[in-house]
Amino acid sequence: MMAEVRRDPAALSRLGWALVALVLLWPLLRLADFQPGVLLDEGNLRAMGHFIGGFLPMETSHDFLTLLGKAMVETLAMATAGIALSLLLAVPLGLAMTRALSISRIGPGRQAWIGTLVRALVRVLLAVLRGIPELVWALLFVRVFGLGATAGVLALGITYGGMLGKVYGEILESTDGRAARGLLEAGSGRIAALLYGLLPQAGGELVSYTVYRWECAVRASVVMGFVGAGGLGQLMDQSMKMLNGGEAASILVSFLILVLAADGLSEFLRRRLA
């Protein structure tokens, strides 16, 4: 009756995965130049200690605070303008991606392949727009438009246009398309089918996602300044380069206030919408 106990069937694969992980970890550590020792290097410690030590007292002179306030408003304006710009890209591209709004698919029509091709191209375009990080766009635009918020707004508009367009398309795809199809089959146009067939169901989700993206845009605008594209980040970059701890601390605190306020506002808006 005593059957031999089977060996653990998972043991071999576990051992294999552990070995793979170990073998991979070594080159990873080398590639990332992983040397915790440098944190304790005397020169680094002194530089860091000096900088952190300068955090207190925080810089609170009237001139600096005025500058800071202006930079905070500029950051918020960049995020808002960026999202507004991105909508110009996202709405038409998102709609073009939506199969539920395709007239040529009904039947299917004679030249349905054209619609399919257009949708595929739009998909690729959106992938390129959002595949390049907003900071890279900003770095490029700074070269064209010079230092300042314009580059940041355009960069946000392009990247977020790509993200919003894709998600709009996905949301519209996943809503029940029967109402829209019924309208299209009855001969209505695409815009009418959107307004009467899809938006009543998907509207809340679309707005809620846009608000969430606005919150992300505030976070993104905060750091745009590191490549010279305006906002709080530009002040931060200058203070850091001059190792001015007191200014850096004030800016860090206003960072936190801004981000937390955007968090709170976005959560409030989304709760209202839900």
Partner 1 sequence: MRAGISPAGVFGLMLLLTAAAGSFVFLEMPLGALFTGSAAREAVAFVGRFIPPETDPAFLAKVGWAALETLAISLLSTLLAVLGGVALALPAAGRQGPLARQAARFVLNLLRSVPELVWATLMVLAAGLGPFAGTLALALHTTGVLGRLFAEALENTPRSPAEALTGLGAGPLAAFFYGVLPLVAPQWLAYALYRWEMNIRMAAILGFVGAGGLGALLYYSLSLFHEAEASTVILAMLAMAVAVDGASAWLRRRMAG
Partner 2 sequence: MGFSLEGVGLTHANGFRALHDVDLRVAAGERVALVGASGAGKTTLLRVLAAALRPDGGQVSLLGMEPWTGSPAALRRLRARIGLVHQAPPIPPRQRVVTAVLAGRLGQWPLWKSLASLLYPLDPEGARHELARLDLGERLYERCDRLSGGQLQRVALARVLYQQPDLLLADEPVSAMDPALSELTVALLNEEAIRRGVTLVASLHAVDLALRHFPRVIGVKDGMILFDMPASQVREAQLRELYAAEGGVPMAGVAAAADVAAPPPLRCI
Interface residues with partner 1 (CB under 8 A) are 27-29, 31-35, 38-39, 41, 44, 47-48, 51, 73-74, 76-78, 80-81, 83-84, 127-128, 130-133, 135-136, 139-140, 143-145, 149-150, 153, 200-201, 219, 222-223, 226-227, 230, 233, 236-237, 240, 252, 255-256, 259-260
Residue 6 or residue 271: which is nearer to partner 2 going by CB? 6
**Structure tokens of 263?**
């968090």
Quote the least distance from Cβ 96 to partner 1, whole Å: 20
- 151 in Cβ contact with 142 (< 8 Å): yes
Quote the least distance from Cβ 17 to partner 2, whole Å: 11
- 168 in Cβ contact with 198 (< 8 Å): no
Quote the least distance from Cβ 21 to partner 2, whole Å: 13
Quote the least distance from Cβ 40 to partner 1, whole Å: 10
Burial of 247 (0-12, 13-18, 19+ CB in 10 A): buried
The one of partner 2, partner 1, none whose footprint includes residue 5, by CB under 5 to 8 A per kind, is: partner 2
- Can you tell me which residue has the tokens 């976070």? 219
Q: Does 2 bind partner 2 (CB under 8 A)?
A: yes
Q: Please give the C-alpha separations between residue 151 and each of 61, 72, 122, 189, in angstroms, as whole numbers.
A: 30, 17, 24, 37
Among 135, 129, 117, 120, smallest CA distance to 164 is for 129
Q: Which residues of 113-140 are buried (b: 16+ CB within 10 A; e: fewer)?
A: eebeeebeebeebbeebbeeebbebbbb
- 125 in Cβ contact with 53 (< 8 Å): no
Cis amide bond preceding 57, omega within 30: yes
Q: Which amino acid is at 240?
A: M
The one of partner 2, partner 1, none whose footprint includes residue 20, by CB under 5 to 8 A per kind, is: none
Quote the least distance from Cβ 209 to partner 1, whole Å: 15
Which residues from 7-26 bind partner 2, rule CB under 8 A? 8-11, 14
The one of partner 2, partner 1, none whose footprint includes residue 195, by CB under 5 to 8 A per kind, is: none
Query: Would you tell me which residues interact with partner 2 (CB under 8 A)?
Result: 1-3, 5-6, 8-11, 14
